[in-house]
Amino acid sequence: MLRGFIVGLLLMLGSACSSPTSITPPNIVLIIGDDHGYPYFGFTGSAHVHTPYMDRLAHGGALFTHGHTTDNHCRPALQTLSTGLYPIQYAAQLEAFKARAQSGDPEYSQLAPEEQAQWDFLYEANAMREFETLPGLLSRVGYASFQAGKWWEQSFANGGFTEGMSKGWDPDEVGQPGFFGKLMGGDGVELVRETSQPVFDFIDRNLDTPFFLWYGPSLPHVPLNPPEAYYARYRDTNLSESAKEYYGNCTWFDAGVGDLLNHLEMRGLLSNTLIVYVNDNGWEQPPFEEYKDVPILYNNGGPNGKLSLHDQAFRTPIIFNWPGTINDAVFDDLLVSSADLVPTLLDYAGIKIPEFLPGASLRPVIEGRGSIQRDALIGRVTQMRSETDPMGKRQTGYYVRTLQWHFTSTEGEVQLFNVEENPFEDVSADHPELISGFLEQIEAWREEFNSPVLDPSLQ
């Protein structure tokens, strides 16, 4: 109990002072919630979900309440956190890299269609090694880096990490029993669910070296199977069973964050560690709605959660906590994107931000010496809800999010939601004058970002 109190006290010290510069680059810890819906933290107002460690991070740091991830499911959203690119940019760049590799392989054109499909799959699984990544850029200035948790990009090395839990898989394992777990990250998905020791060992090996830690437990992601210590808090309530299980997984995730913070505190590292939090995508599980017997809703977070185009599929709190350096503050009038994280972290590490990144550094905002001018967040998804498959179906949709409106467009069907009044009620019929403007914004954005950004010879 005393150790937890000390961690909370150190995290709250962020409100005591602020320094715009740091002589020594900070350690950077990026905590990623997996399917963690915005409403399901104590600090976002939940009266039911117990998240004391996340609450301390939020109350002791800079909290952006209108944060949004760049996609409605994990892999493209995580690619943004690795590269700083919008998913539409990453996909365009990937196709350019792949076309170059295909033309450079004299045997590719001779392959049968199914063999070409296998070649493409294997190439895409390893393609991130061709990109500039946050871990790779940090390594150039002396950072050690460690990947822990979910990781779709085959091996940690493909992301530019110096170490990691996801070691990759062999091509002959594709399609074999258990392969999907390896595709999600293999040993990495054991983080918190089975062990956090590899993370603690990495930290202990780098007490005198600046480090970057990618900390992405597969929680509160399904399976919704919280251990008794976390489920017990909800068992005897009047919550639905699916809510008890999901909230239990949220508390399990929070406990893992607590173990990490405790370890950093015991090693005397909190005062020189920038801790950042973001979700990969959203989720919906109201306290009294039962999804247990509806597999699509149980596995994807209600009708408005993951793989949907609703605001709740994208919204995330974004937290920056650095005790003694970042003041506690709540920014509730700014639209910020997970694409802003790579520029912000590079800024804090003293690294020049690549001009091709679409996001903006939030450091001037956090330090009270600047702002960002952004009227809307715009994005594209290529995977959406299926009535029968929890993994969804290939379908393209676009969205525009302002502080008041959330607009969606899918194959000619448009919807408009007033997020300040009811984020789930379509009011497009009441505001026909707004539709053309949002569609024009989407088209202008698509024309700007649907192209490669690296290596001009590929464009």
- Angle among Cα 159, 74, 354 to the nearest 5 degrees reads 45
Question: 27: burial class by Cβ within 10 Å (0-12, 13-18, 19+)?
Answer: buried
φ, ψ of residue 68 to 5 degrees: the values are -140, 135
- Compute the residue count for the chain: 459
- Reading the block at residue 268, the tokens are 């005397």
d(CA 130, CA 100): 12
- Reading the block at residue 251, the tokens are 């508390």
d(CA 279, CA 263): 22
d(CA 346, CA 357): 11
Cβ of 207: how many Cβ atoms within 10 Å?
A: 11
Q: What is the pLDDT of residues 87-145, one digit of tens each?
A: 999 999 999 999 999 999 999 999 999 999 999 999 999 999 999 999 999 999 999 99
Asked whether 305 and 256 are in contact (CB, 8 A), the reply is: no
The arrangement of secondary structure in 375-451, i.e. its CATH architecture, is 2-Layer Sandwich (3.30)
Cβ of 50: how many Cβ atoms within 10 Å?
A: 18
Q: Which residue has tokens 């399976």?
A: 223
Please report the pLDDT score of residue 23 as a whole number.
54
d(CA 379, CA 76): 12
Please report the pLDDT score of residue 458 as a whole number.
58
Please report the pLDDT score of residue 221 as a whole number.
98
- Reading the block at residue 61, the tokens are 């740091």
SS3 417: strand
Structural domain boundaries of the chain? Answer: 2-85+131-372, 375-451
Rg (CA), the chain: 21
Beta bridge partners of 383: 394
Asked whether 61 and 328 are in contact (CB, 8 A), the reply is: yes
Which ranges of the chain have pLDDT less than 50?
Answer: 1-22, 459
DSSP string, 167-224: ----GGGTTSTTHHHHHHTGGGGGBTTTB-HHHHHHHHHTTTS-EEEEEE---BSSS-
Please report the pLDDT score of residue 17 as a whole number.
39
CA nearest to 28, candidates 177, 112, 141, 155? 141
d(CA 138, CA 388): 42
C-alpha dihedral sign at 220, 221, 226, 227: negative
* DSSP H/E element including 398: strand 393-401
Asked whether 3 and 11 are in contact (CB, 8 A), the reply is: no
Q: Which residues contact 284 (CB under 8 A, 6 or more apart)?
A: 37, 301, 302, 303, 304, 305, 310, 312
Please report the pLDDT score of residue 149 as a whole number.
98
SS3 243: helix
The model carries a pTM of 0.94
DSSP letter at 22 equals -
Q: Which residues contact 374 (CB under 8 A, 6 or more apart)?
A: 334, 335, 336, 360
CATH of domain 2-85+131-372: 3.40.720.10
Asked whether 199 and 148 are in contact (CB, 8 A), the reply is: yes
* DSSP H/E element including 315: strand 315-321
* Parallel/antiparallel/unpaired status of strands 27-33 and 273-279: parallel
Name the amino acid, one letter, at 445.
Answer: W
DSSP letter at 282 equals -
Please report the pLDDT score of residue 290 as a whole number.
98
Please report the pLDDT score of residue 373 as a whole number.
87
CA nearest to 36, candidates 309, 181, 184, 222? 222
Q: What is the pLDDT of residues 201-234, one digit of tens each?
A: 999 999 999 999 999 999 999 999 999 999 999 9
